[in-house]
Amino acid sequence: MRMRLLIPWLGLAGFLAVPLPAWPQAAKHNATTLVVTGHPGQAAVLQIGGKSYIDLESLARLTNASLSFAGNQIKLTLPKSASAATPPAATTPASPAGNPGFSKAFVRAGIETMSGIREWRSVIANIIQHSYPFDETWFTAYSAAAAKNLNLASLAATTDSDRSAFQLLSNEYNNMQSLTSTVLQNRNVMHYMPPGYLEDNPLNQKIVNCAQSLQAMAASNQFVDDGSCH
């Protein structure tokens, strides 16, 4: 018959084998019981020499562990807990919020603004190309319509992309105002503007490039500042 084994409860690493003759004597000491949280049942704990001991086989039964013997070694294998058997899924760091792009309301207002500016510029181009007489009243309605749509775009700007694009849209409107003022000044001093005047005008070219950049942004629904509108 295999001898019964006792281990100090205060440290499972130190095993103590107690010969059978000593067991009845140990039993005379006051005994307490061991309860393991999460496991039903209990096991007797013996107080011997001021230390606490528990029968190894009783502990194995109580914890649903297994015992194996190899030479002078005894291996106690505790069952894996649910948390140990299935490691918690690694927490994936929250990815930065993606670029929300443009709101639909802002895109609509922005398209209307650019459409008005394009018509405004077309009027100036036709006047210069055909040498039509003109005054500032020719541009008042176009300027007012573009300003109204620009204000609607400002009210519709709700995302970061909206607000960033609005600054460029405002630059486009201001550049059109500047180009109109330049054309009117040339007219007032009777300065001749050849048919190709706008083609060689840096401000006009900036307006064209900015319009193309804003159109590309609206198509991709992503704000990209390439410097065309500055």
Torsion sign over Cα 192, 198, 199, 205: positive
pTM of the model: 0.57
DSSP sequence for 7-64? EETT-TTS-EE--TTHHHHHHTS-EEEE--TTS-S-EEEEEETTEEEEEHHHHHHHHT
Report how far residue 178's alpha carbon sits from residue 174's, in angstroms, rounded to the nearest whole number: 6
SS3 content of the chain, % helix, strand, coil (to 5): 50, 15, 35
Q: Which amino acid is at 95?
A: S
Residue 18: predicted pLDDT: 41
What tens digit of pLDDT does each residue of 59-100 get? 777 677 776 776 667 777 877 764 444 555 555 444 344 557
Question: Which of the two residues, 168 and 87, has the higher pLDDT score?
Answer: 168
Cβ atoms 59, 16 nearer than 8 A? no
The residue count for the chain: 230
% residues pLDDT > 70 (the chain)? 72
Cβ atoms 11, 25 nearer than 8 A? no
Question: Which of the two residues, 90 and 224, has the higher pLDDT score?
Answer: 224
Q: Is the pLDDT of residue 176 over 60?
A: yes
